[in-house]
Amino acid sequence: MSIAKHYANVWVDLCWAWSIDPFSSSDFVRRFIHAAPINKLFAYGGDTMWPTNVLAYSLQARRWLTKTLEAEVAAGDLTQAQALSIAERLMRRNQFDCFDLV
């Protein structure tokens, strides 16, 4: 987290993290939101060769990211609007900005 925070050319990709340990991944995202620039985190990456797996992994990441951001809202650390903005950023906008996509 601190490397991503201090170096402009470093991003954190949670590609397999949700599948390996969703509870720790959720905790990591909650900590990252408060400690590092939000534009440095990718909530999901689908590096599997099977389309069905890409879909399954993306659904898993979305489910756990939703739970994570709901916990932030419930704790009073984010508003619902902020959580929705962060979700869009982590699932889409950060990747577009990083890779300079239209």
Per the document, the length of the chain is: 102
Higher per-residue confidence, 40 vs 51? 40
Contact (CB, 8 A) for 42 and 94: yes
Model confidence at 102, pLDDT cuts 50, 70, 90, reads: confident
Q: Judge whether 60 and 26 are in contact, CB under 8 Å.
A: no
Res 47: pLDDT: 81
Q: Look-up: residue for tokens 């985190």? A: 41
**Is residue 12 within 8 Å of 41, Cβ to Cβ?**
yes
Q: How far apart are the first and last CA of the chain?
A: 27
State yes or no: pLDDT of 41 exceeds 90. yes
User: What does pTM read for this prediction?
Assistant: 0.91
Q: Is the pLDDT of residue 46 over 90?
A: no
Q: What mean pLDDT is reported for the chain?
A: 94
